[in-house]
Amino acid sequence: MATAGGAADREIVISRYIDAHRELVFEAFTDVRHLSGWWGPDGFATTTRRFEFRVGGAWEFVMHGPDGTDYREWITWTEITPPERLALVHGEVRDDPNAFESIISFAREGAGTRIEMRTVFPTPDLRDRAVEEHGAVEGGRQTLDNLASHVAAALRQREAG
């Protein structure tokens, strides 16, 4: 599978500032108890089938769309560098020929965190289909917005108790 270098016609890059320390943002992205609370675009819910957070481990889950459609998903972690970076391969099932790679970086920015998701598809056509047919850019933005809302709620809960 390709890497991000020289892949501009195959990639989607989405970035967002989150007003929280990167350790908390990283935790929300890597702890299954948090993931099910925010993962996916608006209106989606996530049910985890299996979660092994280690290099080579898998996260198998089902995303439930607002129209009732279920989407089987599979992620394997290829790099875990707390609290700075994650790399993963994401497809519908293990060994999916259309799986894509993502690198998620968590950078300190002021008092908060700049999270960037850089996703590289095997071909430009697969990238274009993800954007045009599945709304990948807007869905990615909504997903990071949901992460930011989840982290803000977690902060409020920690401060209250």
Residue spans of alpha helices (H) in 31-123: 32-38
Instruction: Tell me what pLDDT residue 110 has.
Output: 96
Instruction: Tell me what pLDDT residue 159 has.
Output: 87
Buried b (16+ CB within 10 A) or exposed e, 123-147: eeeebeebbeeeebeebbbbbbebb
| Three-state DSSP state, 40 | coil
Residue spans of alpha helices (H) in 9-160: 22-30, 32-38, 124-134, 136-160
| Three-state DSSP state, 44 | coil
41-60 pLDDT per residue, tens: 999 999 999 999 999 999 99
Matching CATH number, 10-160, of 3.40.640.10, 3.40.190.10, 3.30.565.10, 3.30.530.20: 3.30.530.20
Point out the residues of the chain with pLDDT beneath 50: 1-4
pTM of the predicted structure, to 2 decimals: 0.92
| Three-state DSSP state, 153 | helix
Whether the CB-CB separation of 154 and 24 falls below 8 Å is answered with: yes
Instruction: Tell me what pLDDT residue 4 has.
Output: 46
Instruction: Tell me what pLDDT residue 66 has.
Output: 96
Instruction: Tell me what pLDDT residue 161 has.
Output: 76
Residue 2 CB neighbour total at 10 angstroms? 14
Conformation bin of residue 38: beta by default, left when phi > 0, alpha when psi is -120 to 50: alpha
Would you list the domain boundaries of the chain? 10-160
CA distance 151 to 145: 10
